[in-house]
Amino acid sequence: MTQPITMPLWAFVLVVLFAAVTFASHFLFPSVRWFFRKRAERAIARLNERLQRPIEPFKLARRYDMIQRLSYDPEVTQAIVEYARKEQVPENVAFEKAQQYAREIVPSFSATAYFSVGIRLARWLSKSLYRIRLDSFDRKALADIDPQAAVIFVMNHRSNMDYVLVTYLAANAGALSYAVGEWARVWPLSALIRAMGAYFIRRKSRGALYRKVLARYVQMATRGGVSQAVFPEGGLSLDGKLAPPRMGLLSYVIEDFDPEAREVIFIPVALNYDRVLEDTILIAADKSGQRRFQPPLLNVLRRVSRHFLQRLTGRFRGFGTASVSFGEPLKLSAFKPDAKDDLTEAVATELMHRISEVTPVLDVPLVARHLLASDEATAATLEQAVTASIADLTDRNRPKPRRKANEIVRDALQRMKARKLIAQSGDRFTVTVTGQDVLPFYANSIAHHFSAPAKGLVENAAAAE
């Protein structure tokens, strides 16, 4: 027992390595994890004290545990059996398929990534690109929302900046969980998005098993009180107009709704921009009839390089105003549709109506509307037409710009000239070929606020006088 033994050096090294790994996994790592977990819990407790809606325990659950819980959910298990029978595959193969879907969908929320990195990045990016304006905002109505209710922000989808802008503006309310499409499932962007609490969805998947896994995750998150943000249009607007709602995610929430368990409150959110970053890409997709947003890499790099060069030389003046409005909240238990109406469709239609009612009216969309109504215009006639439109919006209690007509026209014309959307000859302005494609995209965003297309500038000028 006490006699020395000899062994090869490589064997001794292996023994030492195995001993070190065993010690670390059984003694060191658990202690370290416990130490950091306690620190994280204390940090989250301090964070919850200043948030209007504290971070829900559901969001803080370990991702592995959530994947397992979702995979073994009774409804998912039943869907697995049906999938195996339909596809004629073993049930263990169908179970692996369900787990694959669960791993795709379930996020790995990190409070540090969301509040320390994500919020700061969203604030910097929003303020550096746009002049932020909070339009319609009933502070009392939002403050009176039941803190135990599951809040779902329902938004129109104008730009990928929507995620950034609402994340920044809702920073004090709590952590939002977004449903994001396949565009974001690229490394390393996907890891950051998961850490921010977003969950991935396959917009083109129609498989029953996938839909059940997704539905159960959304329902579990809603039952857990997670604050969510969804885009009922199902994708970015290609023509600037509000698109009809799709029922997918909303139907999952409404099908599982139980007012005795937890109330659900939808908050309509409307966004609009003087400049949508992806406007030419969206317009091209609308022309082609295919929702493909894959601009050439060189084109993207060229635009980014030009932007940074403008910043370095002090020539960047921002992209104008980005505005957000909050509509009247819809309490699901109190919503009473007509007896003949489907509840999900009625809720979706009502939410889109409330979004349209508070869509901000900004400078570029308003001036674009009047430029497209005339072959040529002057700054004076545009000011008169804009004045008439503002008066009309005021009379009908619709959203309207906050600045004076001359400031609106001057700023909008400068931005359009810089992008070569209009040409100036003397004191007259005409829409260029490029502008004929781009300006309708912006004018469409506010078209629903007016009962008729814009009249010619002469008629509008006469009305203003």
Fold held by 103-277+319-358? Glycerol-3-phosphate (1)-acyltransferase (3.40.1130)
DSSP-derived 3-state class of residue 273: strand
DSSP-derived 3-state class of residue 397: coil
Domains 103-277+319-358 and 363-464 share a fold: no
- Of the chain, the percentage scoring pLDDT greater than 90 comes to 41
Token match 């009249």: residue? 455
Q: Are 269 and 153 in contact (CB under 8 A)?
A: yes
Token match 């971070």: residue? 55
Fold held by 363-464? Arc Repressor Mutant, subunit A (1.10.10)
pLDDT per residue as tens digits for the range 202-218: 776 668 999 999 999 99
Mean pLDDT of 146-174: 85
Work out the burial of residue 68: count CB atoms within 10 Å of its CB; fewer than 13 is exposed, 13-18 middle, 19 or more buried: middle
Q: Alpha carbon of 276 to those of 237, 271, 372, 382, 401: distances in Å?
A: 11, 11, 19, 23, 18
pLDDT per residue as tens digits for the range 296-319: 666 667 777 776 777 777 777 788
Which of 190-204, 324-338, 415-429 is predicted with the least confidence, judged by mean pLDDT? Answer: 190-204
d(CA 462, CA 290): 43
Q: Where are the domains of the chain?
A: 103-277+319-358, 363-464
DSSP-derived 3-state class of residue 157: coil
Q: Using the 8-state DSSP alphabet, how is residue 25 labeled?
A: I
DSSP line for 301-364: HHHHHHHHHHHHTT------EEEEEE---EEGGG----TTS-HHHHHHHHHHHHHHHH----HH
